[in-house]
Structure formats: C-alpha cells, structure tokens
Amino acid sequence: MEDLGGLVVKFAVVVNEGPYTHQASDTAYQFTKSALDKGHEIFRVFFYHDGVNNATRLTVPPQDERNVQKNWSELAEKHSLDMVVCIAAAQRRGILDADEAKRHGKGDGSANIAPGFRISGLGQLIEAGIQADRLVVFGD
Amino acid sequence: MSDSKRFLYVNRKAPHGTVYALESLEVVLIGAAFEQDVSLAFLDDGVFQLVKRQVTTGIGVKNFAPTYRALGDYDVKKLFVERESLEERGLTEDDLMEVTHENDDEEDVSSIEIVDRARMAEIMAAQDVVLSF
Amino acid sequence: MSTLHTVNKSPFERGSLASALAHALPGDAVLLIEDAVVGVRAGETAAAQALKAAMPGCAIHVLGPDLAARGIAADGVVDGVTIVDYGGFVDLAAAHDKVQAWL
C-alpha cells in the first residue's frame, strides 16, 4: 500500500443489484458517500443488471425504513453525481424515462425514472472504466 | 503510457440460473468498440459458460452460448480458462466449445487458453480494470 | 501493482473467499463485506484458518458496520484482521491500484 497523502482519486461505482433484497446498493451508497466526504471524485455511478431497479421513483417503503432510491437521488443532487442506468437492462425490467416510454408506446405518465438518474448505453460503463482511476463493483 | 487500458471480465457463475453471464457478454460486445486490451477470465462455475452443447429450449430462454463463438469477430481474442476450476468440476478442455479468431496470417486459431491458478492470478494482477458480474 | 479484493459471500455458503485468497498475491489486500464478515469470527473454523494462513502475505480487513450488524464483536475476530469503516474501505480502494470484486 502506498501513502496517497490526501490525493484525490476518481472513482467509478457499479451497482449490480436492486434495492432491499441485497445489501449491494446500500454498501455502494455508503462507499460513494464516504468517498465524497473524503474529497474524492465520483466520475459516475453505473446501475446494471437488477441494479437498474434502484432508479424507479415508484417505490414506497415504510416510513421508518431507508428509502434507497431517495438516498441516491439526494446524494446525486448534493454532489452533481452522474448516475447512469443501463438502457438494455432497464428496458428488460421496466425502468423507463419519458422518451423510452413514448418510443415503446407505454402511455403518458408511465415514465418511472427517479430524479438524478439518466438512461444510457453500456458504453457509459466502459467509459467509466477508462476515465476513472478505480472502478469498484457492488453486486451479488 | 498507452491510452488503452487492460480490461478483464471475470466470469465465475454458471450460465442460465442468473442473468450475469448473459449481461456480462453484452458488456464485452459493447466494450469491444472502445479498442481497449480486453481479456475474459472463466473460473469457478464460470467455466460452465463455455461448455459446448448447451440446449436451452427446455427452459424456455434464448441460448446466448453461440455468441461466445462470435467474439473473434469483435476482436476479443483472449479467453483464459482456469485448469483447476475445470478439474474440480470433472471437466476437460474437450468439454468446451471452440472459440477462434483469425491471426495475422489469416488462420483460425483458438482464443481459449487453459491456464493454471497461479497464471490466472498473474493475469488478474496485470489488469487495470476488473469487471465482475 | 496491487489489488484490493472484496468478498461479500459467507465462506460457509460459497467459495468466493477461498477463490479470492487463492488468487491474491503478496502485497494485495482482502476486504470482507456484507455476509462475508461471518467468516472472521475467531475460532476453529475453516474460514478462520484460511484467513490466518493468508496473512501476513496478504492483509485482511473487515467492514466494521457489517460486523456490528451481524452481532460479531470487534474483539471476537481472527487475530491480525483489521476492522475498517466505510471511510477505511475508500482508503483501501484508493491505496491499491485496482479493486476486484469476488461476487
């Protein structure tokens, strides 16, 4: 281990599991929050596989429980995080933005992507791997 | 320093029971367009992803196994399979499908290299980015 | 070139920890998170022995909040295992050249 002595590291974070069933999204959130608190940079958070389910605005967890989607959205707003949801994985699992909802004829108001998330291609994951100093994967 | 990075896709799960093998392959295919130095590692139950004669009609899902054979067309030429993982599961190289690519002399050569565990550890250590699914 | 290996599966249920330890090289570090932390309880378990055998060539760390959540006391872990918080996880990820998840 080298001593980085306060050096800023550019992280990319990958989340491969949805909220609530698996701890992966919670761990990824805590990691991302800690990295930002320490002054590091988060190049992108990429949601893949069931991880795309973190991006639905339609979850209504009990009030005394954490709201995983809201936690991510608020963190993104606070730190201008780039949170990308894989389009292919999202389409399979019913996560749609307004454009996608329209394109697939799912009707007005069926877009369910939460604030702070955007839908894009897998190329964004590869780009994150190229651009970031460290890519950290959280999954099952 | 070269501007391309060494990417390793680590496959440790059997196919079909979960989506990971399929969606990992989708990343590999998309990633191929980025002209990075790409390798795939198959170890633990991941070696089952390359077993030949996978028939998925009975489980009602699309068989993506033939896509591995197309990797050469995407310039993905390095598939490392761990020998110990094969042996622990009663498999040999003969149980694996043929995956080839064209070499500089336009000959079809195997993209699959069977490596022992120590060599696999070295291959992993030499990467810049490790993607696990 | 050193690697931080993360493991999140119980070694009593899956082979992820054994596989990670079998591929880690001297100078690497292993961090146990989520369900993997159940493997660091001191005692005559196969997991504890595997961790002891891996040290000191490979530093072993465990995520404290995951230990606490599973009722494992900080003083009840295998000797030599370092307990870190999420900030420590970030420090480890920054200090090594890459992070490899053994999902």
The residues, ordered by sequence, that sit 6+ positions from A25 with a Cβ below 8 Å of its Cβ are A15, A17, A18, A19, A51, A54, A68, A72, A138
Strand partners, B92: none
Q: Do C24 and B128 make contact, defined as CB atoms within 8 angstroms? A: no
φ and ψ of B75, to 5 deg: 65, 20
- CA A40, CA A33: separation in Å to the nearest integer? 10
- Interchain contact A48–C (C-beta under 8 A): no
Tell me whether residue C100 is in a domain. no
Q: What is the CATH number of the domain that holds B111?
A: 3.40.1260.10
In a domain, C3, yes or no: yes
pLDDT at res. A107: 87
pLDDT category of residue A4 using cuts at 50, 70 and 90: low
- Tens of pLDDT, residue by residue over A101-123, are 999 999 888 999 999 999 999 99
Flag whether B1 is in a domain.
no
Range of the domain at C52: 1-12+36-84
pLDDT digits 0-9 by tens, C20-73: 999 999 999 999 999 999 999 999 999 999 999 999 899 999 999 999 999 999
Would you list the DSSP string of C34-95? Answer: GGGGGGGBSSS-HHHHHHHHHTTTSEEEEEHHHHHHTT--GGGBPTTPEEE-HHHHHHHHHH
Give me the catalytic one of A85, A86, A114, A135. A86
Count up the domains in chain C and report the number.
1
Residues of C in contact with B127 (CB under 8 A): 98
> What integer is the mean pLDDT of C12-23?
98
ipTM of the complex: 0.97
Domain count, chain B: 1
| Tens-digit pLDDT profile for residues A16-44 | 999 999 999 999 999 999 999 999 999 99
Contact C99 B133 (CB under 8 A): no
* Interatomic CA distance for residues A13 and A84, integer angstroms: 10
Chain C residue numbers touching B42 (CB-CB < 8 A): none
Using the Cβ of A140 and the Cβ atoms of chain C, whether some distance falls under 8 Å is answered with: yes
- pLDDT higher than 60, residue B1: no
* Residue C56 covered by a domain: yes
Q: Which of B6, B45, B129 to mutate to test the interface with A (most CBs of A within 10 A)?
A: B129
Contacts of B10 in chain C (CB under 8 A): 100
